[in-house]
Chains A and B, each alone.
Chain A
Amino acid sequence: MSIFNLAFKSIRSRKTTFLLTFISIALSVMLLLSVQMIKKEANSGFMQTISGTDLIVGPKSSQIELLLYSVFHIGTPNTLMEYKSYEKIQANPDVTWAIPISLGDSHKGYKVVSTNENFFKHYSFANGKKVEFTQGKVFEDMFHVVLGHEVAKKLNYEVGDNIVLSHGDAEVSFVHHDELPFKVSGIIKPTHTPIDKTLIVTLHAMEAIHTDSHKHFMLRPNKKSQEHNEHHDEKHESAEDNEEIHDEEHHDDGHHEKEFKENISHKLAKKLKKLPRKISAVYVGIDSKSAIFGIQRKINNNTQEPLSAIIPALAVQDLWDFFDIVQITLNIISVLVVFIGLLGMLSLILMGVQHRRKEMAILRSIGATPYDIGKLIVGEAAIVCAISIGLGVAFLYVALFIVSQPLYDTYGFYLQIQPLSLQELAILALIECCAILISFIPAYQIYKRSLIDGMNTQI
């Protein structure tokens, strides 16, 4: 039985006494690691979301605001930019490509992005990956919609299904663009970016449904076009009295129809094929990297319309500089919690020193050196801390496992569960070293005590 073995048995016999120490150190370890991990994962997640886009142009706003709504679909733009500005940007000879995007509508809580075919040609994420399809293809018709992976999965849509978009962001919207249903033309492979949670339609279609909801077409949906609808939505029926909304039977906006019937509204909209006057933002690709800053300056100083051009990589970095403060604060807190946990352990061991003089005398009589007895105490601290660290790591992974799905569902933040990195292992080793280091205090005490006490057991 080595001293270490002895220490292990000693701790095992006092596991209830040390329970709180185990838990407090474990929780602090979990906190410390999760701050590290979430920061790292969030960072790479954010960085992966957009790549290859050299500038994002939007209406005059702060760069973080523009970044958040245009890339991460967080928040909504207060103002819009002219579609003409997009055309001007695209006309710039240095600009390789430009993708207009327009936000604002939703479908069952998922954001709808309207754009043009450039999106599928040029948009890339995660170091240059392009959008690919698991099913179907890019929209060919004005009223085709492409679904993000999660939208299709969660709402159980397939290529060919009909869906109705709603106005605004809310999950439950009373304004449905149901005269102009869309047909699913394709489903995108998982990207682990906000694209997974979006529906992509054409700018023309977006303009059409908005024109229509303002009754510019002066057309009402006719009953016949919807007679095959079997599903009734109570929620919608209760809103029937509202004269703004249709007086006919409402159908479930998520119902599955294999057959897409073009109605008169579709036909009219196609005939008009209007482009929107305003859009939310433009993604810009520039081949000549040296031109980026020049173009950015030019756009920012544009006198015709107040615009902001941001470099996504720098904007993301700025965002992280802000989060750094949060991270540093959390780190300080978790280091303090680790420290408190270790102090708790220290005080428990110190209390034990008095109660264990008898035990030490027995060990001395058997042949243990005072040095052995010091080692026993250090070993105990090492074991307590190691167990706590193990427990903390276990807590961490359980927590990550539990939290990762809701986090993705709510914030679209894809937390990849990964093994501990070298840096994190180094942090754990440091905590263990601290535990061993502070245990030298009681170890030295007990060492000195056992030199004085010897084998005197009548204490």
Chain B
Amino acid sequence: MIELNNMQFSWKETLILNIEYFKIEANEKVFIQGSSGSGKSTLLNLIAGVITPQTGDVIINNKHLSTMKSARRDNFRANHIGFIFQQFNLIPYLNLIENIILPCKFSLSRKEKALKYSKSLEEEAIRLLSNLGIKASSVLKRGVSELSIGQQQRVAIARALIGSPEIIIADEPTSALDRAHKDAFVKMLFDECEKENITLLFVSHDESLKSHFKRCISLSSINSVKPEEVE
């Protein structure tokens, strides 16, 4: 569950976000549409607890992020939120498996949850990959840079999913993919979130993906700061 309450955020004395109220229920899948420069990234950083609003509250799973210290927020993020970015999601010097299990190194609770499914983290990574249609044996030992972008994005899903965080935030995850891959990617992400009861927050400027979601919101409709006022 994500709840924003009377939240205002300014950067260098320019108001970027001013959201009176916005809530995503647990297990909801929400599409947030916003063009670049509309404050999308800032919103995601706020929800993740990387930055804090000057006023108002960010409440994740009934926890007020603004009352936490920054290291505590980092830990909270590690425990409860999985991220998928646009591209280059992976750490170049780690192999595929190491990339997937990385969140478990920062979060004990996700490690414990991952170990409920499999005997080892490596096995869990392989299980997630095969769910996503990647035959692990063929790519296991390869460097991540040798993977196709489509494969890389699926590895990114696996990393977001490992240890079943309550929330997955996907930030333009499909922009580097072609049409056919985009739909397949979104469907795959949906299926996995469904299975694990994960709340999905999907942010994109691409309206063609709207059709997959029951709830679609335009950032400009909840943010009272108009995009042209923002750099």
Within 8 A of B (CB), among A335-370: 358-359, 361-370
Q: Considering the complex, give the chain A residue whose CB is closest to the CB of B78.
A: A367
Question: Is residue B224 within 8 Å, beta carbon to beta carbon, of the partner chain?
Answer: no
Point out the residues of chain B lying under 8 angstroms from A370, CB to CB. Answer: 70
CB of B125 to closest CB in A, whole Å: 13
CB of A446 to closest CB in B, whole Å: 15
The reply to whether B93 and A12 contact each other, CB–CB distance below 8 Å, is: yes
Knowing A9-B94, A455-B45, the reply to whether A366 touches B85 (Cβ < 8 A) is no
The reply to whether B90 and A362 contact each other, CB–CB distance below 8 Å, is: yes
Point out the residues of chain A lying under 8 angstroms from B75, CB to CB. Answer: 367, 369
Within 8 A of A (CB), among B23-79: 36, 41, 44-45, 48, 50-51, 70-71, 74-75, 77-79
- Report how many A-B pairs have Cβ atoms within 8 Å: 76
The reply to whether B50 and A455 contact each other, CB–CB distance below 8 Å, is: yes
Interface pick from B97-105, B126-134, B193-201: B97-105
Bound state CA distance, A363 and B36, in angstroms?
Answer: 23
- Return the contact of A456 from the options B41, B79, B92, B105 (Cβ within 8 A): B41
Question: Is residue B5 within 8 Å, beta carbon to beta carbon, of the partner chain?
Answer: no
Within 8 A of B (CB), among A422-447: none
The reply to whether A455 and B71 contact each other, CB–CB distance below 8 Å, is: no
Point out the residues of chain A lying under 8 angstroms from B102, CB to CB. Answer: 1, 366
Bound state CA distance, A13 and B105, in angstroms?
Answer: 20
Question: Is residue B220 within 8 Å, beta carbon to beta carbon, of the partner chain?
Answer: no
Q: Considering the complex, give the chain B residue whose CB is closest to the CB of A2.
A: B105
Question: Is residue B147 within 8 Å, beta carbon to beta carbon, of the partner chain?
Answer: no
Most buried by B among A2, A6, A455: A455
The reply to whether A362 and B93 contact each other, CB–CB distance below 8 Å, is: no
Q: Considering the complex, give the chain A residue whose CB is closest to the CB of B80.
A: A367
Point out the residues of chain B lying under 8 angstroms from A13, CB to CB. Answer: 92-93
Point out the residues of chain B lying under 8 angstroms from A364, CB to CB. Answer: 50, 74
Point out the residues of chain A lying under 8 angstroms from B117, CB to CB. Answer: none
Point out the residues of chain A lying under 8 angstroms from B106, CB to CB. Answer: 366-368, 372
Q: Is the interface of A mostly helix, strand, loop or mixed?
A: helix
Point out the residues of chain A lying under 8 angstroms from B85, CB to CB. Answer: 361-362, 365, 455, 457
Bound state CA distance, A1 and B85, in angstroms?
Answer: 22
Point out the residues of chain A lying under 8 angstroms from B70, CB to CB. Answer: 369-370
Interface size on B, residues (CB 8 A): 33
The reply to whether B98 and A1 contact each other, CB–CB distance below 8 Å, is: yes
Q: Considering the complex, give the chain B residue whose CB is closest to the CB of A12.
A: B93
Question: Is residue A458 within 8 Å, beta carbon to beta carbon, of the partner chain?
Answer: yes
Q: Considering the complex, give the chain A residue whose CB is closest to the CB of B84.
A: A365
CB of A356 to closest CB in B, whole Å: 9
Question: Is residue B88 within 8 Å, beta carbon to beta carbon, of the partner chain?
Answer: yes
The reply to whether A367 and B107 contact each other, CB–CB distance below 8 Å, is: yes
Bound state CA distance, A157 and B106, in angstroms?
Answer: 73
Bound state CA distance, A458 and B44, in angstroms?
Answer: 13
Knowing A367-B106, A369-B74, A455-B83, the reply to whether A362 touches B91 (Cβ < 8 A) is yes
Question: Is residue A390 within 8 Å, beta carbon to beta carbon, of the partner chain?
Answer: no
Bound state CA distance, A160 and B216, in angstroms?
Answer: 108
CB of B199 to closest CB in A, whole Å: 16
Point out the residues of chain B lying under 8 angstroms from A359, CB to CB. Answer: 91-92
Point out the residues of chain B lying under 8 angstroms from A9, CB to CB. Answer: 93-94, 98
Q: Considering the complex, give the chain A residue whose CB is closest to the CB of B89.
A: A362
The reply to whether B103 and A454 contact each other, CB–CB distance below 8 Å, is: no
Point out the residues of chain B lying under 8 angstroms from A456, CB to CB. Answer: 41, 45
CB of A73 to closest CB in B, whole Å: 59
Point out the residues of chain A lying under 8 angstroms from B79, CB to CB. Answer: 367
CB of B88 to closest CB in A, whole Å: 6
The reply to whether B91 and A365 contact each other, CB–CB distance below 8 Å, is: no
The reply to whether A367 and B93 contact each other, CB–CB distance below 8 Å, is: no
Knowing A367-B107, A369-B70, the reply to whether A458 touches B86 (Cβ < 8 A) is yes
The reply to whether A10 and B93 contact each other, CB–CB distance below 8 Å, is: yes
Q: Considering the complex, give the chain A residue whose CB is closest to the CB of B70.
A: A369
Point out the residues of chain A lying under 8 angstroms from B44, CB to CB. Answer: 455
CB of A361 to closest CB in B, whole Å: 8
Q: Considering the complex, give the chain B residue whose CB is closest to the CB of A371.
A: B71
The reply to whether A365 and B48 contact each other, CB–CB distance below 8 Å, is: yes
Point out the residues of chain B lying under 8 angstroms from A12, CB to CB. Answer: 93
Q: Considering the complex, give the chain B residue whose CB is closest to the CB of A358.
A: B88
Bound state CA distance, A363 and B90, in angstroms?
Answer: 9
Bound state CA distance, A368 and B44, in angstroms?
Answer: 16
Question: Is residue A289 within 8 Å, beta carbon to beta carbon, of the partner chain?
Answer: no
Q: Considering the complex, give the chain A residue whose CB is closest to the CB of B90.
A: A362
CB of B28 to closest CB in A, whole Å: 21
Bound state CA distance, A359 and B85, in angstroms?
Answer: 12
- Return the contact of A367 from the options B45, B91, B92, B103 (Cβ within 8 A): B103
Most buried by B among A362, A367, A371, A458: A367
Bound state CA distance, A359 and B74, in angstroms?
Answer: 16
Point out the residues of chain A lying under 8 angstroms from B78, CB to CB. Answer: 366-368
The reply to whether A454 and B51 contact each other, CB–CB distance below 8 Å, is: yes
Point out the residues of chain B lying under 8 angstroms from A454, CB to CB. Answer: 45, 48, 50-51
CB of B72 to closest CB in A, whole Å: 10
CB of A204 to closest CB in B, whole Å: 79
Point out the residues of chain A lying under 8 angstroms from B90, CB to CB. Answer: 362
Bound state CA distance, A142 and B75, in angstroms?
Answer: 92
Question: Is residue A214 within 8 Å, beta carbon to beta carbon, of the partner chain?
Answer: no
Bound state CA distance, A359 and B145, in angstroms?
Answer: 13
CB of B92 to closest CB in A, whole Å: 7
Known: A367-B75, A456-B41. 8 other contacts (CB 8 A): A9-B94, A13-B93, A363-B91, A366-B106, A368-B74, A368-B106, A454-B45, A457-B88
User: Sorted from nearest, which 4 A-B pairs have the closest CB atoms?
Assistant: A367-B78, A13-B93, A367-B106, A454-B50
A-B contact pairs, 18 of them (CB 8 A): A1-B102, A10-B93, A14-B93, A359-B91, A362-B83, A362-B85, A365-B48, A367-B77, A368-B106, A369-B75, A371-B71, A454-B48, A455-B44, A455-B45, A455-B48, A456-B41, A457-B86, A458-B86
